[in-house]
């Protein structure tokens, strides 16, 4: 499968615990995005990587959230001290090229439930 | 800030009908517009990408049009099938953002019954 891969698909955690999600973009895609989607809403932008550099973070990304993309390949999104409001679908997308008009490809998402 | 609106929020139709889903956006300075399909609990599948210089794109039974000046796009689904049941999301890549991030609508939840 050469699409965007996200793991795990589902995560249930207790409030206060830390969780980490992984995204493997399409090979050679230099741009990687994280989005968050809550029930009944469209996805909202969280953060963006161009190669290994994190170039923008949304105000939605509190200091409990951190994202990395070492070596410009896979990316991880960590949430520390999870809260019930963090329950959502976390989506990763990748695209190729320097131009901003290229197609974005999304993974299957990680569904986080904080209990 | 770019805002994307999709109408209707939900649609339920019998199999075989031709459908039109609507998307509007507030800032016409966009790179492109994408239509996605999302099945319950799943990720997004890209259906069609229309560049800002294009007027429409077609893929099988799907046709998407773009009127950038009026800030509107429509997704036309011909001869709908129960397998088309899903949420359809519209998203624009805003020129105000230099990063290619997408702004999404809330989607249209489509149910096609046999």
Taking the C-alpha atoms of residue A48 and residue A57, their distance in angstroms, rounded to an integer, is 7
* Chain A interface includes B32 (CB < 8 A): yes
Taking the C-alpha atoms of residue A76 and residue A70, their distance in angstroms, rounded to an integer, is 9
> For residue range B39-86, what is the model confidence (pLDDT) as tens digits?
998 999 999 999 999 999 999 999 999 999 999 999 999 999 999 999
Contact A91 B44 (CB under 8 A): yes
* Chain A interface includes B60 (CB < 8 A): no
pLDDT at A28: 87
pLDDT at B89: 98
pLDDT at B56: 95
pLDDT at A100: 67
pLDDT at A60: 83
3-state per-residue secondary structure call for B19-58? EEEEEEECCCCEEEEEEEEECCCCCEEEEEEEECCCCEEE
* Chain A interface includes B34 (CB < 8 A): yes
pLDDT at B22: 97
Encoding tokens for residue B50?
Answer: 């229309």
Q: Is the pLDDT of residue B97 over 60?
A: yes
In this structure, of A42-56, B6-20, B67-81, B95-109, the range with the lowest mean pLDDT score is B95-109
Distances (CA, A) of A93 to A3, A36, B8, B46, B72: 10, 11, 26, 11, 24
Contact assessment for residue A44 and residue A58, using Cβ atoms and an 8 Å cutoff: yes
**CB within 8 Å of A81: residues ≥ 6 apart:** A16, A17, A18, A64
Taking the C-alpha atoms of residue A76 and residue A67, their distance in angstroms, rounded to an integer, is 6
Segments in chain A below pLDDT 70: 1, 98-100
Contact A42 B101 (CB under 8 A): no
């Amino acid at each position: 499968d050469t699409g965007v891969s996200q793991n795990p698909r589902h995560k249930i955690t207790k409030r206060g615990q830390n969780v980490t999600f992984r995204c493997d973009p399409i090979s050679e895609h230099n741009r990687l995005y994280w989005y968050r989607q809550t029930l009944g809403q469209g996805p909202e932008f969280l953060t963006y990587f161009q190669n290994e550099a994190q170039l923008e973070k949304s105000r939605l990304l509190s200091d409990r959230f951190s994202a990395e993309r070492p070596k410009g390949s896979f990316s991880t999104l960590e949430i520390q001290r999870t809260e019930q409001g963090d329950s959502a679908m976390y989506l990763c997308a990748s695209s190729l090229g320097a131009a901003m008009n290229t197609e974005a490809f999304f993974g299957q998402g990680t569904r986080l439930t904080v209990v | 800030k770019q805002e994307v609106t999709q109408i209707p929020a939900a649609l339920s139709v019998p199999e075989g009908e031709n459908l039109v889903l609507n998307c509007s956006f507030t800032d016409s300075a966009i790179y492109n517009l994408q239509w996605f399909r999302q099945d319950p609990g799943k990720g997004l599948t890209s259906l069609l990408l229309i560049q800002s210089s294009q007027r429409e794109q077609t893929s099988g039974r799907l046709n998407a049009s773009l009127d950038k000046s009026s800030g509107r796009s429509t997704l036309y689904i011909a001869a709908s099938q129960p397998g088309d049941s899903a949420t359809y999301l519209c998203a624009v890549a805003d020129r105000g953002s230099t990063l290619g991030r997408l702004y999404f609508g809330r989607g249209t939840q489509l149910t096609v019954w046999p």
